Amino acid sequence: MTAPIYVLNGPNLNRLGTREPEIYGSTTLGEVEALCRTAAGDVPVEFRQSNREYEIVDWVHEAIDRPGAGIIINPAAFTFTSIAILDSLKMFPRPIIELHISNIHRREDIYHNSLVSKIATAVIAGLGPKGYGVAVRAMLDLVADAKRR
């Protein structure tokens, strides 16, 4: 069986489609999940969202133990506050792509210091919900490159 790509989403992303559409657009999280599954083709996707920090940490541990092919993570507000998520991601030995729907660097100063960026293989920000498809395709490339080495 092919190792899955984990797509992990942090707090308030369950509100996509209605939450600040001028920033996040009108695409729902269900539509984002469908976009990820389409982009992944035959590669399985573990798509999850939680408002609870500990659940995200547990899912990273699952990706380590299973093992997952890679992690795409939109930690949302936990990007700037969660050392627990950072520490769990530091243990993951395969590619990690940090993803943000908005360009966090064009927003208020509080959004400029990502803890996750410090250990991520790559960062995608500002492409809107379509960034998820870009992230999945990039992850497929990263995983294929790692297999060729």
77 contacts: CB under 8 Å, gap ≥ 6: 10, 11, 12
Catalytic site residue 24? yes
Distance CA 100, CA 16 (A): 13
48, 59 Cβ separation under 8 angstroms: yes
∠ at Cα 15 (13, 19), nearest 5°?
A: 105
37, 102 Cβ separation under 8 angstroms: no
Catalytic residue among 6, 54, 61, 100: 100
Catalytic residue among 6, 24, 54, 132: 24
- The residue type of 31 is E
DSSP for residue 91:
T
Residue in the block written with tokens 């960034």: 131
Radius of gyration, alpha carbons of the chain: 14
Catalytic residues: 24, 100
